[in-house]
Amino acid sequence: MKNTLPLIFALLLFQTQAQYIYPDQEVAVLVNSKDLVVQLLPESSGVEKALNNVLKETFQEYWPNKSVKYMFPKGVKALLKSKTQDYAFLTQTESLGKEIKSLPAYANGRMEEWILGASKEATTEQKNALSNFSYDKVQLEYHEHKLSVFDGKREKIATIITFVNGNLGKHDYVFLSQQLRHLLKSAAAGVTRDEFWNVEENIKALRNTKYSLLEDYFKKENVYQIDKTLVNLYTMIPFKTYQKIIVEKTLGRSYPKIIFSYLHGKFMWIMIRSSDGRILSINSCNNYKFTGSYPANEMIRSGDVYKSMDDSIQILFNKYR
Domain range annotation of the chain: 4-95+142-187, 194-318
Q: For residue 129, which of 143, 108, 159 has the smallest C-alpha distance?
A: 108
Amino acid symbol at 146:
K
Q: What burial class does residue 121 get, using C-beta atoms within 10 Å of its C-beta: 0-12 exposed, 13-18 middle, 19+ buried?
A: exposed
Residue 42 DSSP class:
P
Length of the chain, in residues: 321
Q: Is 179 helix (H, G, I), strand (E, B) or coil?
A: helix
Given this model, what pLDDT does residue 142 score? 80
Q: For residue 114, which of 54, 164, 59 has the smallest C-alpha distance?
A: 54
Q: Where is 56: in which H helix or E strand?
A: helix 46-62
Left if phi > 0, otherwise alpha if psi is -120 to 50, otherwise beta: which for 55?
Answer: alpha
Rounded Cα distance, 8 and 13, in Å: 9
Q: For residue 56, which of 5, 115, 9, 3 has the smallest C-alpha distance?
A: 115
Counting other chains too, the contacts that 283-290 makes at CB distance below 8 Å and 24 or more residues apart are 283/307, 283/308, 283/313, 283/317, 284/317, 285/258, 288/140, 289/265, 290/140
Q: Is 309 helix (H, G, I), strand (E, B) or coil?
A: helix
User: Pairing state of beta strands 137-151 and 68-71?
Assistant: unpaired
Q: Is 225 helix (H, G, I), strand (E, B) or coil?
A: helix
Given this model, what pLDDT does residue 11 score? 44
Residue 24 DSSP class:
P
- Under 8 Å between Cβ of 145 and 90: yes
Residue 37 half-sphere exposure toward CB, CA atoms < 13 A? 21
Rounded Cα distance, 38 and 76, in Å: 8
CB atoms within 10 A of CB 44: 11
Given this model, what pLDDT does residue 62 score? 86
Rounded Cα distance, 148 and 88, in Å: 6
Q: For residue 278, which of 191, 212, 183 has the smallest C-alpha distance?
A: 183
Per-residue pLDDT of the chain (321 residues; tens, 9 = 90+): 444 544 444 444 444 345 688 999 999 999 999 999 999 999 988 889 999 999 999 999 888 877 899 999 999 999 999 999 999 999 999 888 777 777 777 767 788 999 999 999 999 999 999 998 888 888 888 888 999 999 988 999 999 998 887 678 999 999 999 999 999 999 999 999 888 888 889 999 999 999 999 999 988 888 877 877 777 788 999 999 999 999 999 999 999 998 887 667 778 889 999 999 999 998 888 766 667 788 888 888 888 888 888 888 888 787 643
Left if phi > 0, otherwise alpha if psi is -120 to 50, otherwise beta: which for 252?
Answer: left
Given this model, what pLDDT does residue 254 score? 95
The CATH number given to 4-95+142-187 is 3.40.50
CB atoms within 10 A of CB 24: 15
Residue 299 half-sphere exposure toward CB, CA atoms < 13 A? 31
Rounded Cα distance, 321 and 315, in Å: 12
Amino acid symbol at 189:
A
pTM surpassing 0.85? yes
Q: What angle do CA 272, 192, 201 make, to 5 degrees?
A: 45
